[in-house]
Amino acid sequence: MTEKLKLSIKNLDVHYGDKQALFNVNLNIMEKEVTSLIGPSGCGKSTLLKCINRMNDLVEICKIRGQILLDSQDINEASQDPVLLRMKVGMVFQKPNPFPKSIYDNVAFGPKLHGMTKSKEQLDNVVIQSLSKSGLYEEVKDRLFEPGTSLSGGQQQRLCIARALAINPEILLMDEPCSALDPIATAKIEDLIAELKQQYTIVIVTHSMQQAARVSDRTAYMHMGELVETGLTKTIFSNPQHEKTQDYITGRIG
């Protein structure tokens, strides 16, 4: 662990119309660590995740108050370009959602869009490197031009991770990345997360307590829009300080 602050969320309130979804959330996310967000459905985990790459911009009734500082820069400032932000902050969703394009084009899409490469050769390199990083290259190298949707669920998810990595992000957001996958595909993704954190800062939302315990360095427990407790994962799962956290992780009514 580098113990370097990457992302600092300060006094964050989020409203969807009249309904308040997040209440004064304060959370520090360290560089090159895996932080997991856990909590019952509707507690605000995904809302918080979406704030980090401004996906809530697309929701008209969404109002955000407070600060989200990425490397000390407020991402919601008027001068900040959300497209550039999303280059720095990649996202992987619950259900694998490859574009209806070839495996190659799925990964090449981002770099092309952002004009990151100057030649076909460079682009090829980015695609191969990204697929290698997501552990998929060996499995698909002979069929790069087949549709991404022809892959298995677990492979599709790793394709989505490769797609996110292709634009060289600093932070990777993962919203229940394994909930649609079988145990073997899940194990591969978890393995991958452990590798990726050498290079990236990862924030993962998960409903699997064991997964949070296995993959993350720090865990934040959320309940009804509030951040109840945050700490080292080891502590949260062995000896949480807050009764609500204890009730939730031990499967009591929380």
Partner 1 sequence: MTDYREHIVKSFDEEISNVIHLTTKMATLVEEQYKLLYHVVDTGSPSTTEDILENEPKLDNYDAEIRDAVITLITLRSPVAVDLRDILTSLRISTDLERLGDYAKNIAMRVASLEEIPETHIKNDILRLLNLVQVQLKKVIDAYVSKDIKKAQEVLKNDLEIDNNYNVIYEEIVDVIKGKVSKLRLLTYTKLLFAIKTLERAGDHIGNIAEEIHFIVTGEHIDLKPDSKENNLEDALEDSNK
What is residue 53's DSSP assignment?
A: T
Q: Residue 196 — φ and ψ, nearest 5°?
A: -65, -25
Compute the least distance from the CB of residue 27 to partner 1, in Å.
21
Is residue 9 within 8 A of residue 212, CB to CB? The reply is no
x-or-dash string of contact with partner 1, 151-190, rule CB under 8 A:
----------------------------------------
Q: For residues 89 and 213, which CB has a smaller minimum distance to partner 1 in the complex?
A: 213
Query: Considering the rule CB under 8 A, would residue 238 count as an interface residue with partner 1?
Result: yes
Q: Is 72 exposed, middle or buried (0-12, 13-18, 19+ CB in 10 A)?
A: exposed
Q: Which helix (H) or strand (E) holds 19?
A: strand 19-30
Q: Which helix (H) or strand (E) holds 112?
A: helix 103-113
Considering only the stretches 66-74, 167-175, 218-226, 243-251, report the one whose residues sit in contact with partner 1 under the rule CB under 8 A. 243-251
At closest approach, how far in Å is the CB of 43 from partner 1? 16
Long-range CB contact pairs, 58-64, < 8 A, 24+:
59/16, 61/15, 61/16, 61/17, 62/14, 62/15, 62/16, 63/14, 63/15, 64/12, 64/13, 64/14
Q: Report which residue type is found at 140.
A: V
Is 137 or 248 the residue whose CB approaches partner 1 more closely?
248
Closer by beta carbon to partner 1, 41 or else 79: 41
Shortest spacing between CB 253 and partner 1, in angstroms: 6
Chosen residue from 26, 122, 150, 210 binding partner 1 by CB under 8 A: 210
* Closest separation in Å from C-beta 252 to partner 1: 4
Report in angstroms how near the CB of residue 150 gets to partner 1 at its nearest: 35
Q: Does 247 bind partner 1 (CB under 8 A)?
A: yes
**Residue partners of 57: CB distance under 8 A and separation at least 6:** 82
Report which of 177, 229, 250, 227 is spatially closest to residue 45, judged by C-alpha positions.
227
Does position 234 interact with partner 1 (CB under 8 A)? The reply is no
Q: Pick the piece of the chain touching partner 1 (CB under 8 A) from 61-69, 86-94, 219-227, 233-241.
A: 233-241
Pick the binder of partner 1 from 4, 143, 234, 252 (CB under 8 A). 252
Handedness of CA 43, 247, 92, 164 (dihedral sign): positive
Sign of the four-CA dihedral 68, 66, 92, 193: positive
Q: Which is nearer to partner 1, 67 or 246 (CB)?
A: 246
Interaction of residue 237 with partner 1, rule CB under 8 A: yes
Asked if 253 touches partner 1 (CB under 8 A), the answer is yes
Contact residues for partner 1, defined by CB under 8 A: 209-210, 213, 237-240, 246-247, 249-253
